[in-house]
Amino acid sequence: MGSVRPYVGCAEYLPKANPLQNPQERVMKQRIIKILRVLKVYMPDWMVASFRKYLEKRLYRKMLKKHKTIKPYEKGRYEMGINLIGNIRSETGLGESMRILARVLKENKIPFVILNVDSWANEDNNIHDWDEYVVDVPKYAINVIHINAGEWCRYFSDFENELLDNRYNVAYWLWELETFPKVWRPCIETVDAVWAPSRFICDCVKKYTKKPVVHVPYAMWLKEPVAFGRDHFSLPEDVFLYLLMYDFRSVSERKNPKASITAFKQAFSAEEANANKVGLIIKVNNAATESEVGNLKKQLEGYEYIFFITENLSRDEVESLEAAADVLISLHRAEGFGLPMAEAMYLGTPTVVTNWSANSEFVTPDSACLVEGDFIKLQTQIGPYEKGNRWMDADVNQASAYVRRLYDDKAYYNEIKERGVTQVRKALSYERAGNIIRKELEII
């Protein structure tokens, strides 16, 4: 199948003979991918697995062969600073992650430019807040490449050598489990260092390399007051609202929305919720079919104050929705960071969250409602998550008790709210993140 050229915007470094520079070829490639997805439905599992392994081996061989041709870092050849590489225009969690990193660099006056990598995937790339920093030619000595390991080999292989030669190449990766997938481990060979927003990810990657693996945390800064109130989302002012945010492109078994809905239902019967004006907002991203939303609606039949939001929201709208809710619930089984939780806490919205993985680094028992659980082993591969790994299944009964207490006990609610704001602003400050990056630049 070959690799897909995603590197739009850095014209000097595009593969010169790549036919995907032709938009018609690009469309044809996407059609082929759609056909293969349809065929997958009719192919036996063993054939799908064999075909996937064949493609993976081919892509990783190409990546490692390319890596051997890259000239190693030459200190002093380029001015010290950062070329931030990735899709900063994307309306995704990964896009927001890159924008946070850009803000850290800007606020700390660390020299940087952005080389934008437009994804070939079907996603919206409409955020242009950082266009003034976007350039076609890298300027500085350090490349911080904000492309996750799952797509690394395809992107890395299509970069021209001049982009990577003589520079210190850093991967900024997100991941959600304690074990790094075996198929991705060769990607570590192609970089000089790995940075990640959580110690959880760093501890995972350190198992497979002696190269520098550095915790470069996010920093939170959200507009206050937020841009929109409840009326913007057609939400009633007099209803106590819990918020569940869910993306169908994320693996549902990891995000575990069913547990959050069950906790809400255990806390409030339909009769009581309707009588006391208690409701649930379900923000659904990237629902492929109406039946997917329909399955969620069936679980909440009889509840009057249930609000589904399925359209894509701007960054201002996302933050406004998080602030408009009275409580955020996230009974995920694993997180590489947990941005919605951090954002909600920053904005003064109490959270009920699973007490495991990366989000445990910025929450404490007195700043959020931490839900314990049991570790469960994956009995089969689920998305990129390999059989034999573990994640946490949150205790729905404990979560339900927290959901109820935040409604019943106003003093407790205000306590969690105030301590959450203080905790997340202290743990995720621009000064802290900037100091870490400056220290790394000095070492490099």
Question: pLDDT tens across 141-157, in order?
Answer: 999 999 999 999 989 98
Token pair 């919206």 is at which residue? 124
Residues 174 and 241 in one domain: no
Please check whether residue 92 lies inside any domain of the structure. Answer: yes
Average pLDDT over residues 61-85: 96
Residues 284 and 163 in one domain: no
Residues 171 and 60 in one domain: yes
Average pLDDT over residues 75-84: 97
CATH assignment of the domain containing 288 = 3.40.50.2000
Residues 96 and 39 in one domain: yes
Residues 245 and 184 in one domain: no
Average pLDDT over residues 96-119: 94
Bigger pLDDT: 329 vs 55: 329
Q: What is the pLDDT of residues 235-281, one digit of tens each?
A: 999 999 999 998 766 688 999 999 999 999 999 999 999 999 999 99
Minimal CA–CA distance to 100: which of 150, 149, 144?
144
Burial of 11 (0-12, 13-18, 19+ CB in 10 A): exposed
Amino acid at 275: A
- Cα–Cα distance, 440 to 315 (Å, whole number): 30
Please check whether residue 444 lies inside any domain of the structure. Answer: no
Residues 187 and 256 in one domain: no
Please check whether residue 434 lies inside any domain of the structure. Answer: no
Amino acid at 324: A
Residue 32 has pLDDT above 90, yes or no: no
Bigger pLDDT: 341 vs 127: 341
Residues 302 and 351 in one domain: yes
Range with the poorest average pLDDT among 104-113, 154-163, 322-331: 154-163
Q: Are 368 and 350 in contact (CB under 8 A)?
A: yes
Please check whether residue 225 lies inside any domain of the structure. Answer: no
Please check whether residue 6 lies inside any domain of the structure. Answer: no
- Cα–Cα distance, 19 to 16 (Å, whole number): 9
Give the C-alpha distances (Å, rounded to integers) separating 146 from 116, 121, 250, 290, 338.
10, 16, 18, 33, 17
Residues 293 and 384 in one domain: yes
Q: Are 25 and 5 in contact (CB under 8 A)?
A: no
pLDDT level of residue 441 (50, 70, 90 thresholds): very high
Q: Provide the domain count of the chain.
A: 2
Please check whether residue 356 lies inside any domain of the structure. Answer: yes
Range with the poorest average pLDDT among 29-33, 113-117, 387-391: 29-33
pLDDT at 166: 98
Residue 73 has pLDDT above 70, yes or no: yes
Average pLDDT over residues 398-412: 98
Residues 163 and 56 in one domain: yes
pLDDT level of residue 284 (50, 70, 90 thresholds): confident
Q: What domain range includes position 100? A: 11-215
Please check whether residue 441 lies inside any domain of the structure. Answer: no
- Cα–Cα distance, 44 to 352 (Å, whole number): 41
Residues 183 and 66 in one domain: yes
Please check whether residue 315 lies inside any domain of the structure. Answer: yes
Residues 252 and 157 in one domain: no
Q: What is the mean pLDDT of the chain?
A: 89
Residue 33 has pLDDT above 80, yes or no: no
Residue 106 has pLDDT above 70, yes or no: yes
CATH assignment of the domain containing 105 = 3.40.50
